[in-house]
Amino acid sequence: MAILNEEQEMLRDMARDWATNESPVTAFRKYRADKPAEGFQPDVWQTMAQMGWTGIVIPEEHGGSDFGWMSAGLVIEELGKTLTASPIVASTVAASAIVLGGSDEQKAKWLPKLASGEVVGTLAVDEGAHHGGKTEASVSGGKLSGTKAFVHEAHGASLFVVSAADGLYLVEKGDGVSLSDRKLTDQRSHANVTFDGAAADKLANGGDDLLDKVLDRARILTAAEMLGMAQQVFDVTLDYLKQRVQFNQVLASFQALQHRMADLFADLAMMRSAVESGLEALDSGFGVPHAACVAKAEANRVLHIISREGIQLHGGIGMTDEYDVGFYLKRARVLEASWGSTTYLKNRFAALAGY
């Protein structure tokens, strides 16, 4: 487990208290019932902005706190525990793209708005069902055309960071931008976004590997959310086994079930180590591509197992809407496919290592 300083411990505890008391899973149920057009509850988003969470990785000169990636990961992990429906991961990644590749003018224009929560940003990269395909979107005369699939938080976003054949571009929602809903099992905001001659402003200062750098950040932050989800499923399942009685014994007294929970505990420890190493790599700037592959691949593996076992150990009743644990499995399957499947990430790690 990562060693946190006093400020990080306070931030984590504040996020944990807020998520537990103000945004429990019942809030996700309300979001699901209300179906807000933005894909999140605007008042909740503003509360998060007022607490400074939307500007954690943004430099102070542009309105953020520059508190680092480990700090951002701590907040996102806690929000993942309660399935809080917010665009914080998408908007943080979009902000990082501008920090890495934006001009002084682009930073001055967008970063303060992203830090304050006034603007929600998101990443539009994939063009098909699988991550890592060829990029067909192109720019001519400052106008971007192409279609991006499975764009997270697209409904509430007003700024898209879009990959094109020759780099990353900023595109504002408006003329030339249209959305087509994608209904996924997690019931969050996803859409195909079509750009038809939309005005585009290139992020020209990030180098040829800017997209890879941004995707590494997306992978690690997504893994942090998955870590929170895995921890919560483990805790909820353990509590259930300690109180559920069959054959006049609590389930937790059966040795076979104890072995299964012990295996999950070990997997969870491995996942935490990988995710926290990814966050530390981002803060140090050392070994980020490798750490991002390991963090997301391990998050994919462990959350897949824990979400499945959580259902199994609840005896199938976990899939009913009455129990929260089924929501985690549905969100898990969406995140597992985001920014690279386990197979894609293993191949990328091998290529990075020169195998």
Percent of the chain with pLDDT over 90: 92
Q: Which domains does the chain have, with CATH numbers?
A: 6-116 (1.10.540.10), 121-202 (2.40.110.10), 209-353 (1.20.140.10)
Asked whether 112 and 61 are in contact (CB, 8 A), the reply is no
DSSP states along 184-242: -TT-S-EEEEEEEEEEEEE--SS-TTHHHHHHHHHHHHHHHHHHHHHHHHHHHHHHHHH
Structure tokens at 26: 């019942």
List, for residues 268-305, the tens digit of each pLDDT value.
999 999 999 999 999 999 999 999 999 999 999 999 99
Distance CA 317, CA 75 (A): 30
Residues 217-261 have pLDDT tens digits of 999 999 999 999 999 999 999 999 999 998 899 999 999 999 999
Pairing of strands 190-202, 177-181: antiparallel
Amino acid at the residue 102:
G
Tokens describing residue 82: 């309660």
- The predicted pLDDT at position 78 comes to 98
Find all residues with CB under 8 Å of 313, minimum gap 6, and list them: 237, 240, 241, 251, 257, 260, 261
pLDDT over 80 at 141, yes or no: yes
Which of 67-76, 239-248, 312-321 has the lowest average pLDDT? Answer: 312-321
Q: What is the mean pLDDT of residues 56-81?
A: 97
The confidence band for 154, taking pLDDT boundaries of 50, 70 and 90, is very high
Give the pLDDT confidence score for residue 1 in this predicted structure.
79
Query: Which pTM was predicted?
Result: 0.96
Q: Is 165 exposed, middle or buried (0-12, 13-18, 19+ CB in 10 A)?
A: exposed
